[in-house]
Structure 1
Amino acid sequence: MKLMKQGGQAPLLLLFFLLVSCFSGLDVFAQRESATSSRASRTIQPSNNDIPPAVVSRCKQMHRVKRNETLNSISKDYNVSIEDLIVANPELESDELKKGNYICIPAIVEATDKKEKEVILPSIPNQTIKTTATGNKERGTTLPIHRNQGKGPTVKAAIILPFSEVESRTRMVEYYEGFLMAVDSLKRKGVSVDLYVYDSGGQNASISSILQHKEMVDMDVIFGPLYSKHIKPLANFAKANKIRLIIPFTSKDNEVFSNPYIYQINTPQSYLYAEVYTHFAREFKSANVVIWNTGEQQSDYEFTKGIRRLPNRPFTVRILEEGDIAAGMIRDAFSSTQTNIVIPTSNSNATLAKLISQLLATFGKMREDDIRLFGYPDWQAYAKDHIDEYFEWDTYFYSSFYTDNLMPEVMNFTKNYRKWYSKDTANTYPKYGMLGYDTGFYFLKGLFTYGSELENNLSNVEFTPIQIGFKFSRANNEGGFINKQLFFVHFTKEHEIIKMNFD
């Protein structure tokens, strides 16, 4: 599936009418339309130029890194640019090449027009789409749209994301790739889905032409958007047509408080603070909490302020100011008789590294005091840098996202993702492929099973999350749903990683 963006023109949405012959009950559509055009929408009839190859891989092959290899040497070996290697392997921007790691060697697509910039969207692996000499599709055994053969209803779903926008497309394509894997899993369970895919363009593009497509009013559920500018018009459209709108990404937009059809998946941390405080007070009752003010960017100062102001708190609180740390007064804030829980006022990796270094210099490795760290969801992204220190300092962090790589479902997803797309998911937080899988599976399965009664059965959807769980609460009487799933992740001194659920 290809999305094209013409040089100097508005973003384009491609309409590829994909009928999948190996997926009984599944039809996938991608739409092509100028995102800012006011002309009436129309269905583009398939032709030789409209139909992409059955399977499009962004990787020509996977390369295993050898000793002393560099990006420069690998790029020369495969005749690709260093820039193309980094685009295909975003983690290389921050991580060094390591012997034994696998990297994607991109399959470079030559555009027929130098002004064209192509974005490759994957199709369902093993689909059978044939084109005759006259451009007519041969669908083989593909079922017509909405024909379920008595297997139950068909869920009509749309994805509206910026696939052609350079800054975000790698993440959005990965989300879509995981979503397709969820559709595949559901198909094997007899779930019927019609999937429509639209490119929203960049954050300054209009999505009005997408919403004018006649099929949009018949959707059961819409996934997206990414940019805050698109939330208001999409939320209004969903509300007017009584369509559930699933916003998978972090948003501080307040539409969820006035629109009963919105589901906010990745809830802003500030919405979860009350839940975190409740579980923190139960877990660390009678502890000595040390709030470590490093003087750096205090993006989570509000969190620690809430800890300090917690009414009837069952623990003591001591604050280490920047001046106290510089003056070597760190020990004065710690207790020899209580468990000490250290919380920095910043969530940055630099702050965490500095904190660990100063604790080690003050207390050493062979210490008598019970000292533990407590931090933020961002800390799981730093695990590769500090895994040994996490175990050594008995570390906790709270999050609504976490992946246990040893869980069978996660191992299966990772294996299949590599098989489908000839690459691994990007080393990001969260992993967008897994986010696409979890959101797609949960809501498509829920709607197929419960239909209009989904809201009364949100906790009954049979689902094993691989990264994010769902625990929805109404924002208020007039609003939609906020995901309040929360857990602590504990790295014990015994080198165990424990996911602490609070259901």
Structure 2
Amino acid sequence: MTLAQSHRLPSSGNKWIVFVLIGLVLGACSPKLAPVTQKPVTKPVESKTPDVKVTPKVVAVHTSTVSLILPFELNKLDLSSAATSANLSRADLAVGYYQGFKLALDSLTAQGYNFKLQVFDSNGDDSQAHSLAGNTKLRTSDLIVGPVFPEGIKAFSTAMHGINKPLISPLSPAAPAEFKNNNLVTIEPPLEYHAWRIARYIKERLRPVKVFVLKSGYSDENKYILPFKKAIDSLSRKRIQVVYLTVTKGNLSAIIPQLSTSAQNIFIVPATDQTFLAVTLAALDKLNKTYPVTVFGHPNWYKSSFLQATLLQRLKTYITVSDKVDYNDDETKQFIKAYRDAYHLEPSDYAIKGFDDGYYLGTLLSTDTEAFKKLDKLNYLGLHNQFSFIKTGNAGWVNTHVSIYQYQNFELKPVE
């Protein structure tokens, strides 16, 4: 059994909407639709700040201008019979996110708010993102959402220097320190917060004497390994030893003398390479017959279809997740129905994220002029994740909420 794949928006169903979007680039006011409500956070997550119920309360008639910068790539789009799903992948992302975001604003509009939604095509190009920063309509917006890719954010952010207004990074988990923008709001938790979450869980729940970090040799894994080491040292006051091993062809013999036959042996595997994981996880499975094994994997494992749930369950595998949707949840069902009614399509992951972002940001924009200065006090429970922000030094606000899941009955179940 493989990891369950998230619902995807069919590419063929999106071709018609691209033409509609061309007419929306200059902006449009949201029409009133039946509201799709969201629930507030009931308990702070990774935060000691009080919860604030994000429920709209109309205080004055004001039109808030929101600008979306998304990679529709209309200049590159191939709509011929020879078009492939790869040709439409970024358009799928942009269309799905836009439709979800707009549905959220429509819901808020039905409750008495007013929005002007402006849509800009970044063409997935850094120079275009930089150029858009000079657009007067965009610069005078109350809120700017996008670009979505790290290099585009960097190019746009640099050109927007001196403009003091919120800039939302909606989909990229890139470390915000790369952009050095104090107005940036990073919604997708960067990898370091996954590492910290795992370190805290290990220290508080499992309390091992040592943990083993299995490396493939790729330097990219340090983006996970370094913050994990820093976190586990800090939380345990260096009482938990971290043992590193660069694994070649599944050879784990070097650490066998250090393993326990009675207690769980904790392995951190930050790799995502398919070949490496196939060999290394098989070696751990063999080891598990004598030495109890518990594995903590990279968050990208969640959507890696080549990983077998039966194997991961035998290895007592944990995975951190920041965007898992519960399709049995009543509010998720309500959103899906509203989305189908509005667009006659199934919502993609990007549509769900767009809705969460639009509802949260639209509510803050309309109800509290100081909201973007105190996001740490405005937690929110969405359809795909919770928002629990902290303020960084000079890189704006970062959502830190990460959930931990473990394989039980051959599927991922929330641990906490």
Q: If the length of structure 1 is used for normalisation, what is the TM-score?
A: 0.61
Alpha-carbon distance in 2 for matches of 1:375, 1:140: 44
**How far is the alpha carbon of 1:217 from its aligned partner?**
4.0
Alpha-carbon distance in 1 for matches of 2:126, 2:326: 37
RMSD: 4.0
Q: Which amino acid aligns with 1:192?
A: N
The aligned length equals 365
Comparing 304-313 with 349-358, greater Cα deviation is found at 304-313
Kindly indicate whether the alpha-carbon contact (under 8 Å) linking 1:222 and 1:244 is maintained by their aligned counterparts in 2.
Answer: yes
Alpha-carbon distance in 2 for matches of 1:103, 1:231: 27
**Residues 1:498 and 2:398 are matched in the alignment:** no
**Residues 1:157 and 2:56 are matched in the alignment:** no
Match of 2:225 in 1: 304
**How far is the alpha carbon of 1:195 from its aligned partner?**
0.8
Kindly indicate whether the alpha-carbon contact (under 8 Å) linking 2:71 and 2:124 is maintained by their aligned counterparts in 1.
Answer: yes
Match of 2:82 in 1: none
Question: Residues 292 and 459 (structure 1 numbering): CA distance in 2 closer, same or farther, change over 3 Å?
Answer: same
**How far is the alpha carbon of 1:401 from its aligned partner?**
2.9
Looking at both structures, which has the greater relative contact order when contacts are Cα pairs under 8 Å and sequence separation is at least 6? 2
**Residues 1:448 and 2:366 are matched in the alignment:** yes
Alpha-carbon distance in 2 for matches of 1:140, 1:267: 32
1:20-419 maps to which residues of 2 (within 5 A)? 105-106=12-13, 121=21, 152-164=61-73, 166=77, 168-207=90-129, 210-232=132-154, 234-235=156-157, 238=160, 240-248=162-170, 249-252=172-175, 254=177, 256-257=179-180, 259-270=181-192, 273-274=195-196, 276-286=198-208, 288-293=210-215, 295=216, 297=218, 299-304=220-225, 307=228, 310-311=232-233, 312-322=237-247, 325-326=250-251, 331-363=256-288, 367=289, 369-382=291-304, 385-419=307-341
Kindly indicate whether the alpha-carbon contact (under 8 Å) linking 1:153 and 1:192 is maintained by their aligned counterparts in 2.
Answer: yes
Alpha-carbon distance in 2 for matches of 1:423, 1:203: 28
Kindly indicate whether the alpha-carbon contact (under 8 Å) linking 1:320 and 1:333 is maintained by their aligned counterparts in 2.
Answer: no
Post-superposition CA distance 1:409-467 (Å, at most 9, x none): 333334444454444455xxxx3222212221111111112123442355336x43111
Kindly indicate whether the alpha-carbon contact (under 8 Å) linking 2:176 and 2:395 is maintained by their aligned counterparts in 1.
Answer: no
More helix by share: 2
Q: Which amino acid aligns with 1:265?
A: I
Match of 1:435 in 2: 353
**How far is the alpha carbon of 1:225 from its aligned partner?**
0.8
Match of 2:84 in 1: none
Identity rate, percent: 20
Comparing 297-306 with 393-402, greater Cα deviation is found at 297-306
Alpha-carbon distance in 2 for matches of 1:319, 1:255: 28
Computing the radius of gyration from Cα coordinates, the structure with the larger value is: 1
Give the match's secondary structure for 1:374: strand
Give the match's secondary structure for 1:434: helix
**How far is the alpha carbon of 1:223 from its aligned partner?**
0.3
Post-superposition CA distance 1:168-207 (Å, at most 9, x none): 2221222112212222332333332211111122415434
Question: Residues 237 and 194 (structure 1 numbering): CA distance in 2 closer, same or farther, change over 3 Å?
Answer: farther
